[in-house]
Structure 1
Amino acid sequence: VVFIDGGTTCLQLAHHLPAELNATVVTHSPSIAMALVDHPQIEVIMLGGRLFRHSLVGVGAATLEAIGRVNADLYFMGVCSVHPNAGLSTGDYEEAVVKRALCHAAAETIVLATSEKLNTASPYQVVELAHVSAIVALASTPRALLQPYEAQGLTLYLA
């Protein structure tokens, strides 16, 4: 059972999942759900809530209630900012609360981050880096941007 966050980076992940993958994906993103329609072996579970139009994801009490009923193996998180000291953060308070709940409801969290999101901080913290197992970044990401995360013992995957 895998949580997949909303946003453009997570949408790219969904588009690249193998058609024959057998899994359950739980998401609060209508865009992610639609991207998985042609994957017959993936059961898609949509979490409800109020639509946050900026990121096209569900937020609010209904979303948090639904997250609280799922124990996922893995959470693929998209964020606005990843900082070695400030941790993971985003620009909307409610979105940060939902991401935090998803992180805590999963056994492992993997962050998907493009280079412009590294070493930046947004107003609302999601979690500290101690809650993250790995970061997936583009292979073209400069090593200097990745070094602070390696120094903290995070696993880095370059794609």
Structure 2
Amino acid sequence: MARHLAPDLKATVVTHSPSIAVELSNHAHIDVIIIGGKLFKHSVVAMGSGTIDEIARVRADQYFMGVCSLHPRTGITSLDFDEAGIKRAFSRAAADTVVLASPDKLDTTSPFEIVPLAEVSRIVLNRDTAAELIAPYQAQGIEITLA
């Protein structure tokens, strides 16, 4: 997503991902704030209680969350307990949570809850996602964007 931001976008991005910070370092009008912690090598993001404390001090307009599992009944879940906590903290710090998912993530569940679907403002999916996969989320009043 970071690669597709408009060149004239003026914003502040808060991230716990060194990869995203580096990607945005050449964007002329975006200020980047990096939240630190212990590096979770699997996802190349900062993790830990200090990370959660820093996130709690942020008031964001939107949080763009990448997910591994999204289900109409069980909500958004993760394969990793600590990663679920970090994503939950970011979601609570934001006015709106926008989920970024590929079709293979839909109608799946993982062991650790991040947030229920009621806390999601919008889901961004691949343009070619089948309508029958999208319908259960639309039925819950969640805005769907195909990109």
Q: TM-score, normalised by structure 2?
A: 0.99
Listed as ranges, the matches of 1:72-87 within 5 Å are 72-87=60-75
2:116 aligned with 1:116:
no
2:18 aligned with 1:34:
no
Ranges in structure 1 where 5+ consecutive residues have no aligned partner? 1-12
What amino acid is the match of 1:116? D
Q: Find 1:141's aligned residue among 129, 135, 139.
A: 129
Alignment partner, residue 49 of structure 1: 37
Q: Find 2:79's aligned residue among 83, 86, 91.
A: 91
Kept in 2: contact 1:19–1:38 (CA 8 A): no
Alignment partner, residue 67 of structure 1: 55
What amino acid is the match of 1:104? R
2:140 aligned with 1:152:
yes
> Aligned partners of 1:65 and 1:150: how far apart in 2?
34
Secondary structure of the 1:58 match is strand
What amino acid is the match of 2:56? G
2:19 aligned with 1:19:
no
User: Displacement, 1:91?
Assistant: 0.6
Q: Quote the sequence identity (%).
A: 53
Moved over 4 A (4+): none
> Aligned partners of 2:16 and 2:36: how far apart in 1?
7
Kept in 2: contact 1:59–1:95 (CA 8 A): yes
Aligned residues: 147
User: Displacement, 1:65?
Assistant: 1.0
Aligned-residue CA RMSD (Å):
0.6
User: Displacement, 1:71?
Assistant: 0.4
Q: TM-score, normalised by structure 1?
A: 0.91
